[in-house]
């Protein structure tokens, strides 16, 4: 194939002489700046119907991309389609900019394209997926060990609204693992401390902070509009309450728990998949006795462990919003930090579950503290 290789300076001169220059990068890539005077037509679009853009196969055309690889492949495709005067710009837009040649930046939200550029480059996400994240609303109960890493990464990923509910305040003992908080904010409500940290990381994210303890009276108000609910609680009454509310409202619940050197993560989606996906009660029909499941204050916890589990929860939440991959629905992932080993337990929906069994009416909320105390 007779493809001409041009330097950016040579391409600029030909552009000024009237030769067409086509930037074959995707729209989100061009949004951060492109060679002045270049036409923006993504490689796939150009290759699928070159005649729509270049009706004369004998007319000269130059192609440019980010560093030169895609433009060369597009040039080869044009040659196979019968175009005879095709050139590719070596070094692409990066070299064009480095050499100080004129650049045009389209009007628009440059912060969006800069901030999320690595997501935008993933074909599985791209701009449509990033816009879905931007429109998403994720409710998180607990702004502590699990909520800290989960909220940080969800905010960084561009989730539009994070709803945080926690009635606790920052204590010095939290700082070993609850990375949303700082020594300077000891005594501050955790949701407010979290709002400060998350807004500093990504001011585009809206953080709705509720310094409240989750109860049957307020749970639906907090999660009713959420696309995904994350369980970052540290006690069984709240876990059962969240499960029941998510089943009733048809919300996917991303579960996580830590104990000393071990953690668990899973997705309970019975509200949307009755009879096919289990809920938390299918896994734990009855809570363990309090002495068998002490909290972190009583048993201790490896500081990095909530980070591992919280990141798994954030990953599952993003996948659920985007409809990507295979969620942990019907699977419980166990992590042993000392052995550095993951294992998986398959879970099935309980056909006799009092909450999520098919065609069963919601039984109503109960006294979860009494239920978990064995009363």
Q: Mean pLDDT over residues 65-73, rounded?
A: 96
Q: 3-108: which CATH architecture? A: 3-Layer(aba) Sandwich (3.40)
- The yes-or-no verdict on residue 293 having pLDDT over 70 is no
Give per-residue burial for 248-286: e unless 16+ CB within 10 Å, then b: bbebbbbbbbbbeebbbbbbbbbbebbeebbbbbbbeee
Of 71, 103, 354, 125, whose CA–CA distance to 240 is shortest?
Answer: 354
More confident residue, 108 or 344: 344
- The confidence score (pLDDT) of residue 138 equals 98
> Residues near 62 by Cβ (< 8 Å), separated by ≥ 6?
6, 11, 14, 15, 19, 20, 21, 22, 86, 87, 88, 89
- The confidence score (pLDDT) of residue 359 equals 87
- The confidence score (pLDDT) of residue 292 equals 59
119-373 classified as CATH 3.90.340.10: no
- The confidence score (pLDDT) of residue 302 equals 96
- The confidence score (pLDDT) of residue 290 equals 64
Going from N- to C-terminal start, the domains of the chain cover 3-108, 119-373
Strand (E) or helix (H) holding 266: strand 262-268
- Distance CA(25)–CA(47), nearest Å, equals 12
- 166 with 142: CB under 8 angstroms? yes
Residue count of the chain:
375
Q: Return the biggest CA–CA distance within the chain.
A: 86
- 6 with 88: CB under 8 angstroms? yes
pLDDT digits (tens, 9 = 90+) for 94-144: 999 999 999 998 777 888 988 998 998 888 998 899 999 999 999 999 999
Per-residue DSSP letter, 235: S
Which pTM value belongs to this model?
Answer: 0.84
Average pLDDT of the chain? 94
Fold match, 3-108 / 119-373: no
pLDDT digits (tens, 9 = 90+) for 223-262: 999 999 999 998 999 999 999 999 999 999 999 999 999 9
pLDDT digits (tens, 9 = 90+) for 105-114: 877 788 898 8
């Amino acid at each position: 194939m007779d493809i001409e290789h041009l330097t950016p300076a040579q391409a600029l001169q030909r552009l000024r002489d009237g030769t067409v220059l086509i930037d074959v990068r995707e729209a989100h890539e061009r949004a951060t700046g492109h060679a002045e005077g270049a036409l923006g037509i993504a490689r796939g679009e150009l290759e699928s119907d070159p005649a729509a853009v270049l009706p004369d196969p004998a007319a000269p055309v130059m192609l440019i991309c980010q560093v030169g690889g895609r433009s060369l492949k597009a040039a080869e495709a044009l040659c196979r389609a019968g175009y005879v005067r095709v050139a590719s710009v070596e070094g692409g837009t990066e070299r064009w900019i480095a050499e100080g040649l004129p650049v045009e930046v389209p009007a628009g939200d440059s912060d969006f394209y800069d901030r999320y550029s690595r997501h935008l480059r993933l074909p599985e996400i791209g701009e449509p997926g990033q816009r879905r994240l931007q429109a998403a609303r994720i409710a998180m109960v607990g702004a502590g060990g699990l909520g800290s890493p989960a909220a940080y990464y969800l905010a960084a990923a561009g989730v539009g609204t994070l709803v945080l509910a926690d009635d606790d305040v920052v204590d010095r003992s939290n700082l070993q693992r609850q990375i949303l908080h700082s020594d300077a904010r000891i005594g501050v409500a955790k949701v407010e401390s979290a709002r400060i940290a998350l807004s500093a990381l990504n001011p585009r994210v809206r953080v709705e902070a509720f310094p409240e303890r989750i109860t049957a009276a307020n749970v639906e108000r907090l999660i009713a509009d959420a696309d995904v609910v994350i369980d970052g609680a540290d006690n069984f009454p709240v876990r059962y309450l969240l499960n029941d509310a998510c089943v009733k409202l048809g919300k996917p619940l991303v579960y996580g728990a830590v104990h000393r050197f071990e953690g668990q993560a899973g997705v309970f989606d019975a509200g949307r998949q009755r009879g096919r996906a289990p809920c938390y009660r299918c896994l734990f029909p009855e809570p363990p006795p309090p002495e068998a499941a002490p909290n972190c204050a009583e048993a201790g916890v490896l500081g990095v462990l909530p980070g591992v589990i919280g990141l798994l929860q954030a990953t599952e939440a993003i996948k659920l919003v985007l409809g990507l991959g295979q969620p942990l629905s019907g699977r419980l992932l166990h992590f042993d930090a000392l052995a550095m080993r993951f294992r998986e337990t398959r879970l099935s929906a309980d056909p006799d579950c009092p909450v999520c069994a098919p065609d069963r009416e919601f039984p109503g909320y109960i006294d979860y503290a009494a239920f978990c105390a064995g009363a």
